[in-house]
Every structure is written in structure tokens, then in C-alpha cells.
Amino acid sequence: MSDDYGAGSIQVLEGLEAVRKRPGMYLGDPHDGSALHHCIWEVVDNSVDEHLAGHNDVVEVTLHPDRSLSVRDYGRGIPVDTHQEFGISAAEVIMTKLHAGGKFDNSSYKVSGGLHGVGVSAVNAVSEWMDVEIHRGGAIYKQRFEAGVRATDLVKTGSCDDTGTLITFKPDTTIFTNILEFDFDQIDSRLKETSFLNAGLKIIINDERSDEHHTVEHHYEGGISEFVKQINARRETLHEEPILIQGEKEIEKGPVTVELALQWSDAFSENIYCYTNIIRNKDGGTHLSGLRTALTSSINGYAKKKNLLKNDGLSGDDVREGLTAIVSVKHPDPSFSSQTKDKLVSSEVSGIVQTVVYEKLNEFFEENPGVGKQIVDKAVLASKAREAARKARDLTRRKGVLEGGGLPGKLADCQSRDPSECEIYLVEGDSAGGSAKTGRDRRTQAILPLRGKILNVERQMHNVAKVFQNQEIQTMIRAFGAGVGNNADDEGSFNTEKLRYSKLIIMTDADVDGAHIRTLMLTFLWRFMRPAIEGGHVYIAQPPLYQLSKGKVNRYAFSDEERDTIIEELRGENEGAKIGVQRYKGLGEMNPEQLWETTMNPETRTMLKVTVREAEETNRMFETLMGEDVPERRAFIERHAKEVTNLDI
């Protein structure tokens, strides 16, 4: 590191040190892959800004075998002239100063600095090294940084006849843990989204980590309308072309533009994606509430006018069932509820979206009365199904009360009443349930044995009452004690705060049936108790696959590799003895002590926590895996068959 740092540079170092000390505050969790991938989005955002400014049409992302990643664009190239205030190159300021983008009063760079995340300097701070190569003014410049600190000067290395920026970084393994590999699918789906939102921008992803290089290209001239079509590609839609809505309103700070694409399908889920300045707001906000208000009033108005309503009006949930929509707002100075920009709070946006959508939707219904009727009919059906479901659910609840207190007889409850320390094992089969009851810590662990396969709820979404009549499902609902249903506005809906256990642990056999039962349970939880999954309450127990014994020593292996390693170790200890290998097929083959020791003891067990990265992707996966479309499922299985490593029938 050179020693010519002035006062400004010391500030820089302190800024980057803060990012290294608390990466979570700037980039998300460094242990579960979210910060790791956030680094990519930060770098790519700069290239996208060059596109928005009208100077770049291609972004190329490459995953290298050494775990580094590069982002190349063909924009103007980062400026290289000396920065007035800091006395170093503008490029170095951008690479090392937190939020440097905003410091450039040069209005051309306002988009990124003002509206995007923490900037490329935060990524630099958490990188073992970062190389930047700039093509600008006919020359090539290069500079290297280590842990965010300059390792070389910015030097001119040659000439070129193009412009652009190439940034390569290697995430620092002293900061990131657990997940160190970039996830191609996650990068692909995120950058695909980016290219949909930036009609005309081509994004290329190269995965060069294995000998077989893999490249995909995203380039959509159709923008958000094409995005909606693609999301609904495998669904039966009520109208062929998405409804496209655009509007603009001038506020003091400048123009606010809104752009929406809407399409209804026969799906039961609602999928609305919200964006502000190309950034996803996963918790919605004022644009979403504006859209919702307009949808409810416009569709109810149309239904009344056409005499399509028999009873009460349609609820918001009714009119949004089966809707896929993109709301994209561009705002000169938006406010968010948090640093992560998950929710837009700029209050004026709600009225703008509401007015534009209401007007355009009414117009659309006038011009397309057939589609209007279909949408209303679908909402009326949804409303009836919801009413039937509510009745069935209340009946279940009353029945529980009649049977005394409501806890099901099959439940072996734990002693503690403090949900934060309580967990419930959902166990496949009565015999494994028996072992689990004997082996457990009865103070904090409850056992609920479930008989056979629970109902595939995905195929009953049109007849939800049937779901509530199912014995095993009733038993779970009563044991959890937190209600059922994903509609937060509805009393009796699932509420994590009432959950009697903080961990719901699915424990099934390590075979194909076990996997099926686990999928059925996850389908039920996702469709009817989604906050339990989103709140991180759902886990999957990991029973061992093998017991390895030598004399009095028993060891357990959870994978084939581990089995081989343990066999080697046991061999090494005593050359002579030939080693016993037992393959566990079912939980029932383990006695209570073994089950406790290997799978249930909180001190030693491993469990998988069920998390959801992308609700829409998850919706589609359950539709594919568990729904009615057999050819589609077959195609999915064929696509993924080669990923299956341990199929034991």
C-alpha cells in the first residue's frame, strides 16, 4: 500500500473498514449467500446505469474457476482524471469511497449514486482483490485493490478503440462463510429480471467454472409485458396479451412515470412484482397499494355495472387471484422504509398509480367486455371458494373445541409452554413416531405422528373445503394452534405469533416415499401457512443414511462421501477388523436412542432450514410438481433427473 494518503483517504479507509466489520449492514447476510450475490448486483447496477444513460447495450458477467467474477460493460468507462477534492483519480474515488456515486455532481452519474445501493466500493471492501480495467479515450487503464485498499496505481497499459469498464473481484473468504460459490440459477433469474426491466439491454452470463462452459443471453425488446408473458408461460391465461398501462405525473422534483403489465391466469396465487428505478421492492409499498385499490374498485364497478354480482362485492383477494403483474415506477427522489429498499414509502406514488390504473383498466374493460367478464367470473368463483373455505375452517375449529381443548389425541406434546424453546416433529408413520416419542427431550420436543400420505392440496385449491376436512391436516392445524390460511386480513388466518412451537420439523424416511411425504407437507405449509416458512420456522430433519460399526464404536454417515471417509478412519485405527455398514432406509430401523443421538439431539443434529428466495418461483414449482399438468411435470423431472444423486427406491 502506498503511503501518500491524505485526510480524505483516511476517511475512505474508515468507510471501507466499516463495511468489512459489518458487511450485514451494507450487503446483507455474509453467511447465507445473500451478501455474496448482492456484490454482483451492486457491480451490475453501475453497468445498467450506463444503459439508462443511453451509453451501453451489453453487460457480460463471467464466473471464473477461481471463484472470482467479472462484469464487463461497453459504457463510457469510469473517468480517470484526477479528482479535485481527493487528489487521486476519479476511478479510485469511485472504487474506494462509500456512496461515491452521489459525490459526483456531474448529473450524468446521479442515477446510480442517488438511487441504487451502496456502490461498487462496498464490494471492493469485501473482496480479497478487485481489478478494474477501463477503456476510455483510446487508452486502457488498470488498477488493483486488495481488501478495498489500493494495491497498484492506476496505470495506462495500452490502447483500444472501444469504451467500457471491466471489474473483476474475488469475495474475501475471511468475510463470507458457508456459501462461497456463486449460484448460477440465482444469477440467471435475477439478471433475466434486470434485462426484462431494461428493454433492449443484452445481458450475457458465462459460467466458466467447469470444463464445460455454459452461456446464456437475455435480451428482451418487449420489456415488462414480455416478462409477464414468460411468468405465465405454462399457465392457462384468461386473455392472450398482458394489459399494458403507462402514465406520468410531474411532481416538484421531476417526472414520476409508472408502467404496469397485468395478466390473469387460472392459477390460484397472486404474483405482483414491484420496482422503483429498476430496484425490486419485495415488500411492495405505495405503488402496490395504489394498484390494489384501483383493481378492487375498477373490477367491482365493472361487475356491478354489468350485473355480474349476486351477493356482496368482491374482496381484494378475490380480484387478485390468478393475477400476475409488474409495477415499475421511475421516481426522481424515492423514499424507502429501509436501507434495503424492500418497501417504497413515497406517499404521492399511491395516488398516481391508483388514478392511472383505474382509468386505463376501465377503458380496457369497455373495449374488451369478454375479457372483463372472464376476470369478474374468476373473482366470483374465488369469492365463493373463500367463503366455503372459511366455513370449513370454522367447523374444524369448533370440532376441535368440542373434542376438548383442541389438542389432537395423537400429539405427544412437550411440557414447556414457551414457544421459543418448543419444537414439534412431524413424523412419518406410527412406528417412527413411537421411537421419536421415547427418544425425545420431552420438556421441549413434541411429536406428531402422521399416517401415510397427507392430501395433495395443490390439486384441491379449487375446493379448499376438502383440505380442511382432511384428518392429518386438521391434526396439524390444531397442534400448531396458529390458525390456517394465508390471507392476513381474515380473522382465523395463520398467524405466526400464535404458533405453539418455534420450529416445525418434518422428519421422514430417507427414501422416495419419504421425499414425497415431505413435498406434500411443504405444499400444504406453503399454500396454507406461508408465514411459517417465510418466518424461518420450518425445518427438515436429517437422519443418517448409514451406521458404521467396529467393535463397540458406532459412527453415522449422512452421505456416501462421509461413509467412505469414516470407513477409512475406522480402518486406520485397527487394521484387522472388517467394518459393519448398515444402510438405514427408514426411521423405524433406528431405536429411540439412535434416533435421538443422530437426528433429534439439538446439540449434535443437523437440520435444513426451509427458506424461500423467490415466492413466484416457488409458486410455479409447486404448480409444476404437484398440480394437474402431467406433461409439464414430466418435462421438469427430465430436466432435473441428472441432479439426483441418491435415489433409493
Q: Could you tell me which of 90, 101, 107 has the C-alpha nearest to residue 42?
A: 101
Select 168 or 598, whichever has its Cβ closest to ligand 0RA. 168
Piece in contact with ligand 0RA (CB under 6 A), picked from 46-54, 329-337, 446-454, 456-464: 46-54
The nearest distance, CB 106 to ligand 0RA, in angstroms, is 6
629 in catalytic set = no
Tell me how many residues contact ligand 0RA (CB under 6 A): 15
Question: What per-residue string of b and e applies to 151-165 under the rule 16 or more CB within 10 Å gives b?
Answer: eeebeeeeebeebbb
Single out the residue of 50, 133, 193, 321 in contact with ligand 0RA (rule: CB under 6 A).
50
Q: Does 165 bind ligand 0RA (CB under 6 A)?
A: yes
Q: Does 73 bind ligand 0RA (CB under 6 A)?
A: yes
What are the backbone dihedrals phi and psi of residue 114, each rounded to the nearest 5 degrees, phi first? -80, -30
Select 123 or 238, whichever has its Cβ closest to ligand 0RA. 123
Q: Does 76 bind ligand 0RA (CB under 6 A)?
A: yes
Cell readout for 295 is 383493481
Contacts of 407 (CB under 8 A, 6+ apart): 413, 478, 479
Q: Which residues pair with 58 in a beta bridge?
A: 202
Alpha-carbon gap, residue 279 to 197, rounded angstroms = 9
Say if residues 268 and 321 touch (Cβ distance below 8 Å): yes
DSSP 143: E
Alpha-carbon gap, residue 5 to 7, rounded angstroms = 7
From residue 649, give the alpha-carbon distance in Å to each of 138, 509, 590, 636. Answer: 63, 11, 19, 20
Radius of gyration of the chain (CA): 28
The nearest distance, CB 147 to ligand 0RA, in angstroms, is 20
Q: Which of 17, 511, 589, 632 is catalytic?
A: 511
Angle at 503 between CA 497 and CA 504, to 5 degrees: 100
The nearest distance, CB 64 to ligand 0RA, in angstroms, is 18
Select 100 or 464, whichever has its Cβ closest to ligand 0RA. 100
Please give the single-letter amino acid code of residue 250: E
Q: Which of 50, 172, 423, 509 is catalytic?
A: 509
Select 91 or 294, whichever has its Cβ closest to ligand 0RA. 91
Piece in contact with ligand 0RA (CB under 6 A), picked from 70-78, 211-219, 231-239, 300-308: 70-78
* DSSP H or E segment with residue 6: none
Select 165 or 324, whichever has its Cβ closest to ligand 0RA. 165
Alpha-carbon gap, residue 3 to 530, rounded angstroms = 55
Mapped onto helix, strand or coil, the DSSP state of residue 55 is coil
Alpha-carbon gap, residue 583 to 542, rounded angstroms = 14
From residue 624, give the alpha-carbon distance in Å to each of 164, 457, 544. Answer: 42, 13, 30
Q: Which residues pair with 539 in a beta bridge?
A: 505, 609
The nearest distance, CB 41 to ligand 0RA, in angstroms, is 13
Give the x/- contact pattern for ligand 0RA in 172-201, rule: CB under 6 A.
------------------------------
Alpha-carbon gap, residue 469 to 457, rounded angstroms = 11
Q: Which of 421, 513, 597, 629 is catalytic?
A: 513
The nearest distance, CB 49 to ligand 0RA, in angstroms, is 7
Q: Which of 193, 428, 458, 623 is catalytic?
A: 428
Long-range contacts of 369-373 (CB under 8 A, 24+ apart): 369/306, 371/238, 371/239, 372/302, 372/306, 373/306, 373/308
511 in catalytic set = yes
* DSSP H or E segment with residue 82: none
Alpha-carbon gap, residue 153 to 167, rounded angstroms = 16
Of all residues in the shown chain, the one whose CB is closest to ligand 0RA is 46
The nearest distance, CB 112 to ligand 0RA, in angstroms, is 7
Select 100 or 506, whichever has its Cβ closest to ligand 0RA. 100
Q: Does 46 bind ligand 0RA (CB under 6 A)?
A: yes
Alpha-carbon gap, residue 323 to 292, rounded angstroms = 11
Q: Does 79 bind ligand 0RA (CB under 6 A)?
A: yes
Q: Does 281 bind ligand 0RA (CB under 6 A)?
A: no
Alpha-carbon gap, residue 537 to 579, rounded angstroms = 39
Alpha-carbon gap, residue 275 to 224, rounded angstroms = 11
Select 68 or 315, whichever has its Cβ closest to ligand 0RA. 68
Select 131 or 259, whichever has its Cβ closest to ligand 0RA. 131
Q: Does 47 bind ligand 0RA (CB under 6 A)?
A: yes
* DSSP H or E segment with residue 431: helix 430-439
Piece in contact with ligand 0RA (CB under 6 A), picked from 5-13, 104-112, 441-449, 513-521: 104-112
Q: Does 121 bind ligand 0RA (CB under 6 A)?
A: no
Single out the residue of 2, 82, 108, 159 in contact with ligand 0RA (rule: CB under 6 A).
108
Single out the residue of 109, 169, 176, 480 in contact with ligand 0RA (rule: CB under 6 A).
109
From residue 81, give the alpha-carbon distance in Å to each of 88, 229, 575. Answer: 8, 46, 70
Q: Does 104 bind ligand 0RA (CB under 6 A)?
A: yes
Piece in contact with ligand 0RA (CB under 6 A), picked from 71-79, 177-185, 283-291, 540-548: 71-79
Piece in contact with ligand 0RA (CB under 6 A), picked from 73-81, 181-189, 256-264, 444-452: 73-81
Give the x/- contact pattern for ligand 0RA in 15-34, rule: CB under 6 A.
--------------------
Cell readout for 324 is 400476475
Select 80 or 149, whichever has its Cβ closest to ligand 0RA. 80
Select 167 or 477, whichever has its Cβ closest to ligand 0RA. 167
Mapped onto helix, strand or coil, the DSSP state of residue 450 is strand
The nearest distance, CB 80 to ligand 0RA, in angstroms, is 10
Q: Which residues pair with 171 in a beta bridge?
A: 127
Interface residue list for ligand 0RA (CB under 6 A):
46-47, 50, 73, 75-76, 78-79, 94, 104, 108-109, 120, 165, 167
Residues annotated as catalytic (active site), given as ranges: 428, 509, 511, 513
